[in-house]
Chain A
């Protein structure tokens, strides 16, 4: 089954994204920080990672770089509160980010992307 990893610190956004993913027939792993990842997860190749960038003890840029380095994935979508143009440009400069969405967000856009996959 196709698999999506959702990482969001805010439990409400996390649960909404999890439900969105499940209803679209994806297997979903929803976590609030990278520490919750187990060994199996680290070996899976996720079709999508949908993640925030604000996490404890790590700068947004380093977090994105770390996710790209340690978790196998095909697409990386960022959904974050901190979505200023400057932040967006810096994240895209890291390369490998498929999409960047700023909260408030129209989740239909995320749904369209995963449905089209």
Chain B
């Protein structure tokens, strides 16, 4: 049997095909990343310049700006729910409403909310439900006028997507922002996020996303990030770099060519009417944010209405990343399943010229390079092992190639860190930047293999139809400063 494998591997067909496949795949990826850096630089510069003519101070005083509802689902978050709600209520926007959706929590979340915010129970019989959801029990509004903008929807459990849909149904504003109850949103985030909607000209904005940052071990006071610290341990530390790179280079670049297929579930703004038209978030996938964005795009293509999905480079939302390998694997496993489900739900887009660039370029990119990357990496490792065993590897050249690829990876991460440090003032201390760079350089050894494992685990579950839900994401919570 081993002889057979050896014969197959040694055959020039397998050897040459494998070599060319990995070379072309790597080169294409390099080309895409390089173009991404150039597009991102252009995008950041343009966004900054545009903001000169539409400043936050102008928007805050304007009268005809769209109204916005922030929707945050919460499930068993009783420990931090009061802090979180106060934090999300403090967001600065003149026409702002906040809906917290209690998604059938089994803990004392609702009791705590009722007590703290002096909530009054209202009947939900007449609530319009353009998007079907699990049944809504009651709607709560505060008797206290200082919490006039707060609404709590108490509903039966239906999952995150279902809870968001219930919030969207109840919202009465032009725009909705979907987030999580435990995210810390920058105070002026909505003022910045509405900019593209105010400036929309020929193209309608169907979704707008902002940068998301990792804030493990940071200090939070009154629901505001008081001191942004780098995480103490390596797993979340590398995620800081990963997020900077993904958001600042990846999303910014795709945004520049209107190729964004994903607006993160942690912080995304949408026109309510369009979300309702497409039937809201899909509760049957764990990748509901990606799926909604693609569905919105497909819908606009079907209607033949010019549209845009926009990304703002600035970090507007802070979240807590998985603090250790176990939780990281669970998270990436879930993301991989979400990606699988979404790709398969929208397979009609594949090289479909009816959907223009989305069919010809963006969807295939996601399929080959987002969905396909872990598989290619996994196959690459297998082939290195087999080629190594059968003596088909020129080791000195392989080591040099490894250094080159490693160097290129480090170069992209360093560029992302440079662009972040240059344009934003979140990490301003030399020690922080050195730590970020070190984390970036250790990423391929200490982090990336685990990531690939998590993703492959997700694919394995989908392939063999192994049932799995969201998985528990245990969070440590931010450091709360009381003084």
Contact = CB atoms under 8 A, between A and B. Distances in A.
Interface stretch (A19-27, A41-49, A56-64, A108-116): A56-64
Given A54-B92, A62-B89, A93 B148 contact: yes
B94 A61 contact: no
Nearest to A93: B145
B221 interface: yes
Contact of B224 (A57, A60, A64, A84): A57
Interface in A50-92: 54, 56-62, 64-65, 81-87, 90
B146 A56 contact: no
B276 interface: no
Contacts of A62: 86, 89-90, 146-147
Interface in B92-135: 92, 94-95
Contact of A61 (B57, B87, B91, B149): B149
B94 A86 contact: yes
Contacts of B94: 82, 84, 86-87
Interface residues of B, number: 22
A61 B150 CA distance: 12
Given A82-B92, A86-B95, A87-B94, A61 B148 contact: yes
Contacts of B224: 56-57
Contacts of B223: 57
Contacts of A65: 146
Contact of A59 (B57, B60, B90): B90
Contacts, number: 57
B60 A82 contact: yes
A54 B59 CA distance: 13
A8 to B, nearest CB: 13
Contacts of B472: none
A103 interface: yes
A59 B149 contact: yes
A94 interface: yes
Central interface residue in B86, B90, B224, by most chain A CB within 10 Å: B90
Interface string B76-96: 000000000011011110110
Interface residues of A, number: 22
B222 interface: yes
Most chain B beta carbons < 10 A, residue from A65, A82, A86, A90:
A82
A60 B97 CA distance: 13
A61 B90 CA distance: 9
Contacts of B222: 56-58
B304 interface: no
A94 B145 contact: yes
Contacts of A90: 145, 148
Nearest to B62: A84
B146 A94 contact: yes
Interface string B121-165: 000000000000000000000000111110000000000000000
Contacts of B57: 81
B465 interface: no
A59 B61 contact: no
Contacts of B11: none
Contacts of A60: 92
Nearest to A68: B146
B63 interface: yes
Contacts of A61: 145-149
Nearest to A10: B57
Contacts of B61: 81-84, 102-103
A59 B89 contact: yes
A73 to B, nearest CB: 17
B11 to A, nearest CB: 66
Contacts of B145: 61, 90, 93-94
A79 B221 CA distance: 26
A31 to B, nearest CB: 17
Contact of B63 (A56, A64, A84, A93): A84
Nearest to A102: B61
B148 A56 contact: no
Interface of A: 54, 56-62, 64-65, 81-87, 90, 93-94, 102-103
15 contacts: A54-B92, A56-B90, A58-B90, A58-B222, A61-B145, A61-B146, A61-B149, A62-B86, A64-B146, A81-B61, A82-B60, A82-B92, A93-B148, A94-B146, A102-B61
Interface of B: 57, 60-61, 63, 86-87, 89-92, 94-95, 145-149, 187, 221-224
Give the 9 A-B CB pairs with smallest separation, nearest first.
A57-B222, A57-B224, A61-B146, A65-B146, A81-B61, A59-B90, A59-B89, A84-B94, A62-B146
Given A57-B87, A59-B149, 18 more contacts: A56-B90, A56-B224, A57-B222, A57-B224, A58-B90, A61-B148, A62-B146, A62-B147, A64-B146, A81-B60, A82-B60, A82-B61, A84-B61, A87-B94, A90-B145, A94-B145, A102-B61, A103-B61
